[in-house]
Structure 1
Amino acid sequence: MFEDQRHSPKLLIGIVGGLIAVIALFLTYQWMMASNAEDLPPHQADAAPVKAAPAETVKPPAAAPEAVSTAAKLADEDILQAPVPENAALAKEEIAKLEDIQSQLNEQEKTLKAQHTDADQLIKLKEEQIKLLEAQLSQKP
């Protein structure tokens, strides 16, 4: 590029205009998505109050009292007494939702078990490190 092309006011106006257009498109997209979320029925708009699978599928370890309270929050007793939808499509949707929740719980169980084994390994390594440090301290006069 030549020196006069770098400091061209047309180039600067073009860049600023392009940035403003991109920002305007992004804000328009966000506004349209927000208005679409308001138009959906309440059961489709809210994904947060998804009910979990029964408590029998997740068994927390007896040593962690925090895990017991978490499992109680994950399993809701209302799901056992909830009536089965008469519409087959709604029933299939509910089954798919519950299967998704079950797969998420299974994945969470796997990661928690992996974290537990990693923590056990770290504890063993730290114990060995402490023994080595104690041995070094006992050797010094």
Structure 2
Amino acid sequence: MTLDQRNSPKILLGITGGMVSIIVLFLAYQWFFATSNEILPEHEAASLNTPAKPVVSAEAKLAEPEVATDEKTIQLVDEQILKAAVPENQSLAKEEVVKLKDIQMQLKDQEAMLKAQHADADDLVALKEEQIKLLEAQLAQKQ
């Protein structure tokens, strides 16, 4: 290859175009087949689609106190999660435990955040009351 052939703009343009087309084809392949990776195996899909039926005896029904819920109360956790039977498969049971621990951590974080917001709101109310008293004192001095 001579020096003129190596520095030819046609060859450089062809190589650049080829590289770009390979990259575009690779990204298109990844994009089109990304959803196929999300398909669950058959045994996991069957267990997730059919809810576990909890075994509840008559004594357990009598022992549960009925909780009166307000219409304004927001339910954070679905009651079925609490009453559902633990899966027999160990890996599914471990996943369920991890999921419930994650939900518990989220609820604790949310509780801490709400308590902090409540404390901040109380502080703001106290500061506003103090500001109102100062403004009333200034009005009284001007009159």
Give the alignment's TM-score, normalised by structure 1: 0.54
Cα separation, 1, equivalents of 2:123 and 2:79? 38
Cα separation, 2, equivalents of 1:65 and 1:108? 19
Cα separation, 1, equivalents of 2:47 and 2:12? 46
CA deviations on 1:41-79 (whole Å, 9 max, x unpaired) are 533567964858x7xxxxxxx7884326x42343575x5
Q: Residue 75 and residue 23 in structure 1: after superposition, are their counterparts in 2 closer, same or farther (change >3 A)?
A: farther
- Three-state SS of the structure 1 residue aligned to 2:22 is helix
What displacement does 1:118 show? 1.8
The equivalent of 1:59 in structure 2 is: none
Which one-letter code corresponds to 2:114 in the other structure? Answer: A
What displacement does 1:139 show? 0.9
Please, what is the CA RMSD of the aligned residues?
3.9
Name the larger-Rg structure: 2
> Is 1:42 paired with 2:49?
no
Identity rate, percent = 16
The equivalent of 2:96 in structure 1 is: 101
Cα separation, 1, equivalents of 2:122 and 2:24? 55
Gaps of 5+ in 1: 1-7, 55-61, 83-90
Q: 1:116 aligns with which of 111, 117, 134?
A: 111
Q: Residue 10 and residue 112 in structure 1: after superposition, are their counterparts in 2 closer, same or farther (change >3 A)?
A: farther
The equivalent of 1:66 in structure 2 is: 74
Give the alignment's TM-score, normalised by structure 2: 0.54
Cα separation, 2, equivalents of 1:116 and 1:126? 15
What displacement does 1:134 show? 1.9
Cα separation, 2, equivalents of 1:138 and 1:112? 39
